[in-house]
Amino acid sequence: MENSAKPRALYEQIKQHVVKEIDAGLLRPDDRVPSETQLSRAFKASRMTANRALKELTEEGRIVRIQGVGTFVARPKPDAALLEIKSIAKEIAGWGGKHSCEVLLLAEESADEDIAARLGLVPGDKVFHSILLHKDRGVGVQYSERHINPAVAPDYLAQDYTRITPSDYLLETAPVQAAEHVIEAVRCPAHVLGHLQIDAAEPCLCLTRRTWSFDRVATYSSMISPGFRYKLKGLFNRGTI
């Protein structure tokens, strides 16, 4: 995960200097970054060179610049590109529905062989396990089951998931480094039928997701939705069109 290339270019040295201070925690989100003139003096560079360094860091999303005010460390984003699949709550809000959530299970368990393998743990290790039912105007839209690596989100069980979704909580708590998605059409498992109030023949969309944080598997979740109540939509644009 490290990359300590030799920065022969001056603007690269400046970039690296600022990035290091951010990564080391010396500069925290919203902290002020030295101004162009300060940096150019410190590195005996022209202002344009400091400008280039800060401009590129802006494009990389590490800092935020406000004309007339200054430069500040950016707060880590919820990473749009990484998980284009919106949280179910926002999805429902987007089509004008009324989201609610029922907590069917929220507990600590011992990982069985399958779960341990998927989370990169050893069978018997503690894992957090949650089952939620998302509803739109009282109708079940998504049955979502999650297994969480406690090392990544120790306070997962203490949250109130009728108010914030696990996705939202986890995004705040553990920055997502990578994500794996599998989307399938399946028959609804028998034990889920009642919660979604659908017929066994109804095709369902099943989204299985694993996420990685801090170089570990953070979550393994699987979400089931009736095909006629839920679709996945994605619009991808190139550049600034």
Partner DNA sequence: GGCTACTACTTGTCTATACAAGTATAGATA
Partner DNA sequence: TATCTATACTTGTATAGACAAGTAGTAGCC
Provide the binding-site residues for its own copies, judged by CB under 8 A.
1, 3, 19, 59-62, 79, 81-83, 176-187, 201, 203-206, 225-227, 231-241
Q: Which does 180 bind (CB under 5 to 8 A by kind): DNA, its own copies, none?
A: its own copies
Instruction: Tell me whether residue 62 or residue 146 sits nearer to its own copies (CB atom).
Output: 62
Task: Report d(CA 52, CA 190) in Å as an integer.
Answer: 59
The reply to whether 65 sits near DNA by the rule CB under 7 A is yes
Selection from DNA, its own copies, none that 35 binds (CB < 5 to 8 A by kind) is DNA
Q: Are 195 and 133 in contact (CB under 8 A)?
A: yes
**Cα 21 from Cα 26, distance rounded (Å):** 5
- 9/107 with CB nearer DNA: 9
162 is written with which tokens? 């009728």
Q: Is 47 in the site for DNA (CB under 7 A)?
A: yes
Per CB under 7 A, the list member of 46, 90, 107, 232 interacting with DNA is 46
CB 47 within 8 A of CB 37: yes
Contact call for residue 163 and DNA (CB under 7 A) = no
Whether residue 104 contacts residue 131, with contact meaning beta carbons closer than 8 Å, is answered with yes
* Cα–Cα distances in angstroms (integers) from residue 146 to residues 40, 73, 211, in the given order: 50, 33, 11
Q: Which two tokens stand for residue 56?
A: 């590129």
Crossing angle, helix 10-23 and helix 47-59, to 10 degrees? 50
- Measured from the CB atom, the residue of 36 and 136 that comes closer to DNA is 36
Which DSSP category does 16 fall into? H
- By CB under 7 A, is residue 42 in contact with DNA? no
Is the Cβ–Cβ distance between 108 and 114 less than 8 Å?
Answer: no
Nearer to DNA, 10 or 164 (CB): 10
Residues 6+ apart with CB under 8 A from 229: 136, 139, 141
The Cα–Cα gap between 15 and 45 comes to 13
Residue placing its CB nearer to DNA in the complex, 18 or 204 = 18
Minimum distance, C-beta of residue 81 to DNA, in the bound complex (Å): 22
Q: Specify the pairing of strand 203-213 against strand 63-66.
A: unpaired
21 binds, among DNA, its own copies, none (CB under 5 to 8 A by kind): none
The smaller minimum CB distance to DNA, of residues 41 and 98, is found at 41
Tell the smallest beta-carbon distance from residue 52 to DNA (Å).
Answer: 7
Shortest distance in whole angstroms from residue 241 CB to its own copies: 6
Kindly list the residues in this chain that would bind DNA in the complex (CB under 7 A): 8-12, 33, 35-38, 44-49, 51-52, 54-55, 58, 65-71
